[in-house]
Structure 1
Amino acid sequence: MRALLVCPTVLLAALLAASPYPASAQMKLSPKAAAPGGTETRYFTSIDGLMDGNADVILKETRQGKTVTSAVLDICYPVAKNSDRKDRFVANLQVAGQTLTGTTQSLGEKAPVTIKLLRKPTGDTFEFRGQISIGQVVTEVASPDNSDLSEKEFLDNQTSDDGITPQPKDFTEVSPEAIAVKIKLDAATDFLKSLKGQDVEVTLASLSVGCDALRAGEQTINMSVDPERAAALLAKLKAMPGVTAAGWTAGMTEMDRTIRFPAADWRDGDKINRDKLATAVSNVLSRTLAAKPVSQSFSPTTGKLKLVFKRPNQDFPALELTDTIEVAGLVSADKPGSTDRLMLWIGSPSTTTADESTGAKLNVSDEGATDEEGDQPDDNGSIEALTKELKGQRWDADKSLWK
Structure 2
Amino acid sequence: MRATASLSILALTGLAALSTAYAQANKAAKAPPANEIRYFTYLSGLADDRADVILKETRQSGKLTAATLDVCFPVPGRSERTDRFVLNLSVTGEKLAGKTQSQDDKLPITVDLTRKPNGKTFDFTGMVTIGDTMSEIASSETADTSEKEFQEQQASDDTIVSTPDDFTEVSPEALAVKVTREAVADFAKGLRGQPVQVALYGLIASCAELRSGEQVLHLTVDPERAQDTLTKLRGQPGVIAAGWTDGTMDMERTLRFPAAGWREGGKLNRDKIANAVATALAKALPATLISSAWNDVTGELKISLKRPSAVVPALGLTEAITVTALAAADKPGGSDHLLLWVGSPSIETVDESAGPKLNIDENASGNDEESLSLNDNQTLNALTQAFDAQRWDAETSSWK
Above 0.5 in TM-score? yes
User: In structure 2, how many angstroms separate the alpha carbons of the residues matched to 1:292 and 1:212?
Assistant: 48
Stretches of structure 1 lacking an aligned partner (at least 5 in a row): 1-34
| 2:219 alignment partner, one of 223, 227, 232 | 223
Superposition deviation, residue 380 in structure 1: 6.3
**Equivalent in the alignment of 1:75:** 71
**Does 1:144 find its partner at 2:140?**
yes
**Local SS of the residue matching 1:84:** strand
Note if contact 2:259-2:338 (Cα within 8 Å) is conserved in structure 1: yes
User: In structure 1, how many angstroms separate the alpha carbons of the residues matched to 2:366 and 2:302?
Assistant: 22
- Cα deviation 1:104-135 (Å, max 9, x = unaligned): 11111212222222211122111112222222
TM-score (norm 2): 0.86
- Cα deviation 1:322-377 (Å, max 9, x = unaligned): 332221100111111131000001112222333434x4243241515675399594
Note if contact 2:112-2:126 (Cα within 8 Å) is conserved in structure 1: yes
Point out the structure with max Rg over C-alpha. Answer: 2
Structural mapping, 1:253-402, within 5 Å: 253-357=249-353, 359-367=354-362, 368=364, 372=368, 375=371, 377-379=374-376, 381-402=378-399
Call closer, same or farther: CA 1:166–1:380 in 2, change over 3 Å: closer
| 1:183 alignment partner, one of 179, 183, 197 | 179
Note if contact 2:170-2:244 (Cα within 8 Å) is conserved in structure 1: yes
Q: Which amino acid aligns with 1:331?
A: A
User: In structure 2, how many angstroms separate the alpha carbons of the residues matched to 1:167 and 1:363?
Assistant: 53
| Larger fraction in helix | 2
Note if contact 2:175-2:243 (Cα within 8 Å) is conserved in structure 1: yes
Stretches of structure 2 lacking an aligned partner (at least 5 in a row): 1-30
**Does 1:214 find its partner at 2:234?**
no
User: In structure 1, how many angstroms separate the alpha carbons of the residues matched to 2:283 and 2:250?
Assistant: 23
**Equivalent in the alignment of 2:26:** none
Note if contact 1:51-1:139 (Cα within 8 Å) is conserved in structure 2: yes
Q: Which amino acid aligns with 1:363?
A: L
- Cα deviation 1:56-115 (Å, max 9, x = unaligned): 111111111122221111111111257021111111111122221211111112122222
Call closer, same or farther: CA 1:137–1:350 in 2, change over 3 Å: closer
**Equivalent in the alignment of 2:10:** none
Percent identity over the alignment is 51
User: In structure 2, how many angstroms separate the alpha carbons of the residues matched to 1:308 and 1:370?
Assistant: 26
TM-score (norm 1): 0.86
Note if contact 2:177-2:217 (Cα within 8 Å) is conserved in structure 1: yes
CA RMSD of aligned residues (A): 2.1
User: In structure 2, how many angstroms separate the alpha carbons of the residues matched to 1:135 and 1:292?
Assistant: 59
Superposition deviation, residue 187 in structure 1: 0.5
- Cα deviation 1:274-333 (Å, max 9, x = unaligned): 101111121111211222222111000101001122333344445443332221100111
